[in-house]
């Protein structure tokens, strides 16, 4: 429902009469109220008509009192001083631990200072971060989610130092828990016990409960045993019954009403922090509006599991202006004197009022796609009180309709004027100057400086994943021994991915724009590629061949963790000399190829060699046939020539199953490095669809593997073969 400005002002004036001095509604209920008060919803929708706001507020207060009595609610957990940080945790950053901004995974060096400087410059800083560690890599091999913390670059000690650096900068740290990880290596202990141990080792402050609405009681017990003040934050909507022991929760994809509604859990317990997030949206003003009207927080998530979804300059400018205000007035935003939907004087402009310690703060939002200039709201002022614009960083203007100071007799109603940009926010601060604090002047100057650098562009800040083509390695006109010649030409390839949140070839894929994509279904990408003639190894490189490379070169990687960890005493396991070499990362494979006078094949070359001119689905033909590859029946690798009937049209073996194969497909957008794996492997684990792809795969199938550094990139089921260029 929309109103003219005159209608809006008349209805707002009637709503003023329903406010008492402390902000709680008074007066008789509106029996003709047409909206549905819906406290069972995560975000309680508000009525469109300002005349009905007093009853809305009255019902909010009544509902809160009733539910607290019914649940016999105890706020003891929020009164413990060690948890006080959670209520002030307004801006949380979601950090992929392989993010190139956070560190160099190849060297194991974290660049925390650079990451924090970026957060301050772009978003005004973070109060906390979630250190995300496993998905979408989890399940590629038997390692479990806890191993993914242990095998981060630098190991637990390197990660512990990074956590300590974050905490010294005032940034709290959450570890992640994936409850769906039930089919990888088991620990022999309960998950809360294992992760609590990691929390203690790393010095973390909280646990993020991925895909959960709440954690079992065992979580609180395990974390309290580590040290006081370790908090739980759920991803899904937290039920009221668990607000008492979960200090934070995500407000993910909560649908707001056109007139901004009230976050149920935050109204119920004002110190319960919620982080608004719509991970695939490119317009974040909806989240910012809901958070600002509810005194709640925001989750900043630009690198979404390896897919880029960056914030535009307008939204970053808004958040930069809000965070200092949230921090300064945190006691008000977490206090009891919150009045939702105070009357305003402009259509599509809404405000909440927060009061305490002689200070009043109005948080305003502009829902319209046009700017608003003029009278915003009417407030009552006592002698000596002043009003400031917290976004503009200066004294607020009052309307010419306001009575001159010499004519005032006690409290006086004053219309306050201001400006709100399209989809923007505002903040009015009122009180006596002595109540503002000695640093209030410098604070306003900082806000003015933020406004001077504000940028209202809404263009999506895209990124491009850049592929460095391999340097040609020529071998003449004929294929060398152990290789087969593959003709070149202009070839049309149809490549299939499983839709996962890490995306595909591009840094940002159109299928991942809002609304939320349909995950886990197959998606085919067709393209024409120009391939020059080349030769490809008949079989993957074996343990025996890799041993000859080591003997000839003395090669040892700078980071040796998990390098050839299946070998015994520096040699291949007896009887497995002809099995494919595994526990090698992309750099190890490239080093071998260079020694052999070869290179890795591109993933397009790999697919063309496996499919042949008829574009077959499997190397041997269009249909799956048992006994043509290592399908995991033995639970391990097999000799590379064990399945001669699985030969491809050009004569290559082992292109399906046995081990995934590295290809020369590394790309980076400056935040995420990845490569494409081909062929599938013997490893089958079952379980959640959130896991990495398992088992043998059709030869048109491609799997995007986020590169995480040698410790994690060396897997029990990933090997490689080599290629060379041929003269036409």
What is the set of domains in the chain, with CATH numbers?
A: 5-25+36-72+335-452 (2.60.40.1180), 76-305 (3.20.20.80), 466-725 (3.90.1580.10)
Using one digit for the tens of pLDDT, what is the confidence trace for 200-254?
A: 999 999 999 999 999 999 999 999 999 999 999 999 999 999 999 999 999 999 9
Sorting pLDDT into bands at 50, 70 and 90, what band is 10? very low
Q: For residue 423, how many C-alpha atoms fall within 13 Å in the half-sphere facing its CB?
A: 16
Mean pLDDT within 631-650: 97
- pLDDT(549) > 80: yes
- DSSP annotation string for 11-49: HHHHHHTTB-TTS-B-S---TT--S---TTSSEE---S-
User: How confident is the prediction for the chain on average, in pLDDT?
Assistant: 93
DSSP assignment, residue 640? T
Mean pLDDT within 657-685: 97
pLDDT at res. 193: 98
Using one digit for the tens of pLDDT, what is the confidence trace for 491-547?
A: 999 999 999 999 999 888 765 555 556 899 999 999 999 999 999 999 999 999 999
| d(C-alpha 656, C-alpha 678), whole Å | 8
pLDDT at res. 566: 97
> Which pTM does this prediction carry?
0.94
- pLDDT(3) > 80: no
CB 706 within 8 A of CB 672: yes
CB 278 within 8 A of CB 286: yes
Using one digit for the tens of pLDDT, what is the confidence trace for 306-325?
A: 999 999 999 999 999 999 99
| d(C-alpha 212, C-alpha 238), whole Å | 9
| d(C-alpha 453, C-alpha 446), whole Å | 11
Using one digit for the tens of pLDDT, what is the confidence trace for 353-397?
A: 999 999 999 999 999 999 999 999 999 999 999 999 999 999 999
pLDDT at res. 27: 38
Phi, psi dihedral angles at 374 (to 5 degrees): 135, -155
pLDDT at res. 511: 59
Sorting pLDDT into bands at 50, 70 and 90, what band is 412? confident
CB 465 within 8 A of CB 504: no
Question: What is the percent of the chain with per-residue pLDDT over 70, rounded to a whole number?
Answer: 93
Nearest to 215 by CA among 185, 195, 186, 189: 195
Using one digit for the tens of pLDDT, what is the confidence trace for 100-151?
A: 999 998 888 999 999 999 999 999 999 999 999 999 999 999 999 999 999 9
pLDDT at res. 476: 86
Using one digit for the tens of pLDDT, what is the confidence trace for 605-640?
A: 999 999 999 999 999 999 999 999 999 999 999 999
- pLDDT(94) > 50: yes
pLDDT at res. 41: 95
- DSSP annotation string for 528-567: EEEE--EEEESSPPBHHHHHHHHHHH----SS-TTTTTT-
| d(C-alpha 723, C-alpha 87), whole Å | 57
Residue 454, H or E segment: none
Nearest to 234 by CA among 253, 247, 221, 224: 247
Q: Compute CA 705 distance to the chain's CA centroid, rounded to the nearest angstrom.
A: 17
Residues in the chain: 728
Q: For residue 54, how many C-alpha atoms fall within 13 Å in the half-sphere facing its CB?
A: 19
Reduced 3-state DSSP string for 334-393: CCCCEEEEECCCCCCEEEEEEEECCEEEEEEEECCCCCEEEEEEEEEECCCCEEEECCCC
Least confident of 496-505, 547-556, 579-588, 653-662: 496-505
Using one digit for the tens of pLDDT, what is the confidence trace for 272-300?
A: 999 999 999 999 999 999 999 999 999 99
Reduced 3-state DSSP string for 232-276: EEECCCCCHHHCCCCCEEEEECCCCCCCCCEEHHHHHCCCCEEEE
3-state secondary structure (DSSP) of residue 111: coil
Mean pLDDT within 570-578: 97
Instruction: Specify the pairing of strand 702-706 against strand 489-498.
Output: unpaired
Mean pLDDT within 471-484: 92
pLDDT at res. 411: 81
Using one digit for the tens of pLDDT, what is the confidence trace for 420-441?
A: 999 999 999 999 999 999 999 9
Q: Hey, which residues does 338 pair with through a beta bridge?
A: 354
């Amino acid at each position: 429902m929309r109103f003219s400005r005159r209608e809006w002002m008349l209805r707002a004036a009637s709503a003023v009469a329903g406010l008492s001095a402390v902000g709680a509604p008074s007066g008789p209920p509106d029996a003709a109220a047409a909206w549905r008060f819906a406290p069972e919803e995560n975000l309680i929708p508000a009525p469109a008509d300002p005349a009905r706001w007093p009853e809305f507020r009255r019902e909010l207060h009544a509902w809160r009192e009733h539910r607290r009595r019914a649940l016999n609610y105890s706020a003891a957990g929020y009164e413990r001083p060690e948890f006080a940080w959670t209520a002030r945790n307004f801006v949380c950053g979601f950090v992929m631990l392989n993010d190139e901004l956070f560190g160099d995974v190849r060297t194991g060096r974290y660049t925390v200072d650079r990451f924090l400087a970026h957060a301050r410059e772009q978003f005004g800083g973070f109060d906390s971060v979630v250190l995300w560690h496993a998905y979408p890599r989890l399940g590629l091999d038997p390692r479990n989610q806890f191993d993914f913390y242990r095998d981060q670059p630098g190991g637990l000690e390197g990660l512990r130092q990074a956590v300590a650096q974050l905490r010294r900068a005032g940034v709290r740290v959450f570890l992640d828990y994936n409850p769906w990880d039930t089919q990888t290596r088991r620990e022999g202990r309960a998950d809360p016990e294992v992760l609590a141990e990691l929390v203690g080792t790393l010095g973390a402050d909280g646990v993020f409960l991925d895909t959960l609405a709440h954690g079992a009681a065992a979580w609180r017990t395990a974390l309290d045993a580590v040290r006081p003040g370790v908090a739980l934050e759920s991803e899904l909507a937290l039920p009221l019954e668990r607000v008492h022991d979960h200090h934070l929760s995500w407000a993910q994809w909560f649908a707001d009403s056109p007139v901004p509604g009230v976050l149920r859990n935050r109204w119920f317990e004002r110190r319960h922090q919620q982080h608004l997030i719509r991970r695939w949206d490119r317009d974040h003003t909806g989240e910012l509006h809901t958070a600002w009207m509810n005194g709640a927080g925001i989750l900043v998530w630009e690198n979404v599991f390896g897919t880029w979804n960056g914030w535009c300059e307008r939204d970053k400018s808004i958040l930069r202006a809000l965070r200092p205000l949230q921090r300064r007035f945190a006691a008000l935003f977490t206090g009891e004197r919150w009045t939702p939907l105070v009357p305003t004087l402009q259509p599509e402009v809404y405000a909440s009022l927060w009061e305490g310690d002689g200070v009043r703060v109005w948080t305003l939002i502009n829902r319209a796609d046009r700017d608003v200039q003029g009278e915003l709201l009417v407030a009552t002022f006592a002698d000596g009180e002043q009003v400031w614009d917290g976004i503009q960083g200066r004294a607020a203007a009052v309307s010419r309709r306001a009575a001159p100071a010499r004519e005032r007799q006690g409290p006086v109603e004053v219309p306050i004027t201001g400006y709100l940009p399209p989809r923007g926010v505002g903040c009015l601060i009122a009180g006596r100057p002595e109540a503002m604090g000695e640093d209030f002047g410098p604070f306003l100057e900082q806000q003015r400086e933020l406004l001077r650098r504000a940028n209202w562009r809404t263009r999506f800040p895209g990124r491009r994943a850049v592929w460095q083509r391999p340097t040609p390695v020529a071998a003449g006109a004929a294929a060398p021994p152990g290789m087969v010649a593959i003709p070149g030409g202009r070839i049309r390839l149809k490549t299939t991915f499983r839709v996962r949140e890490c995306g595909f070839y591009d840094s940002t894929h159109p299928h991942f724009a809002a609304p939320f994509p349909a995950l886990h279904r197959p998606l085919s990408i067709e393209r024409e590629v120009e391939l020059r003639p080349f030769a490809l190894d008949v079989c993957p490189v074996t343990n025996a061949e890799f041993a000859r490379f080591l003997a000839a070169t003395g090669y040892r990687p700078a980071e040796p963790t998990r390098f050839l960890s299946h070998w015994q005493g520096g040699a291949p396991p007896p009887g497995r000399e002809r099995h494919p070499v595994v526990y090698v990362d992309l750099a190890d494979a490239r080093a071998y190829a260079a020694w052999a006078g070869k290179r890795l094949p591109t993933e397009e070359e790999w697919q063309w060699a496996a499919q042949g001119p008829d574009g077959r689905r499997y190397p041997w033909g269009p249909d799956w046939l048992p006994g043509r590859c290592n399908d995991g029946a033995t639970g391990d690798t097999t000799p590379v020539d064990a399945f001669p009937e699985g030969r491809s049209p050009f004569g290559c073996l082992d292109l399906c199953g046995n081990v995934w194969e590295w290809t020369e497909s590394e790309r980076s957008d400056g935040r995420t490095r990845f490569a494409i794996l081909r062929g599938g492997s013997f490893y089958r684990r079952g379980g959640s669809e959130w896991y990495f792809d398992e088992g043998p795969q059709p030869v048109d199938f491609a799997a995007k593997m986020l590169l995480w550094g040698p410790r994690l990139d060396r897997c029990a089921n990933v090997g490689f073969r080599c290629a060379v260029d041929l003269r036409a």
